[in-house]
Amino acid sequence: MSIELLLALMTGAALFGVGVYGALSQTNLVMIMMGIELMLAAAMVNLVAFWRYLHPDNPAGQMFVLIIMTVMAIEMAVGFGIAIARFRAKGSVEMEEAAELKG
């Protein structure tokens, strides 16, 4: 295993750990979404690192990451839309106060 791959995987693991901590320790909806985005970014870093290590001449992994980034942007837009609607209706985006959202 090359040192570049190990460094990329360690960076991805650190990003994922920060994302898990952010998603689990926060009560604000926006901060939870930011933690989830960090976890997805860490998964993409690991995907590109493994793809580059296994197939150095094939750029299909990078194209796959661009598609995933587009989906992440759409997911964040929908999530922020929900957060803005919640804030306008109730004046808060704290998850503890969102008990009425349960189905």
pLDDT in tens, 55-77: 888 888 888 889 989 999 999 99
Which pTM was predicted? 0.83
Q: Is 96 within the bounds of a domain? A: no
Q: Is 40 within the bounds of a domain? A: yes
Range of the domain at 21: 3-91
Q: Is 23 within the bounds of a domain? A: yes
43-52 contacts at long range (C-beta below 8 A, 24 or more positions apart): 43/12, 43/16, 44/68, 44/69, 45/8, 45/11, 45/12, 45/15, 46/8, 46/9, 46/12, 48/8, 49/4, 49/5, 49/8, 49/9, 49/12, 50/5, 52/5
- pLDDT tens readout for residues 9-59: 999 999 999 999 999 998 888 899 999 999 999 999 999 999 989 888 888
Q: CATH code at 55? A: 1.10.287.3510
The number of folded domains in the chain is 1
Q: Is 43 within the bounds of a domain? A: yes
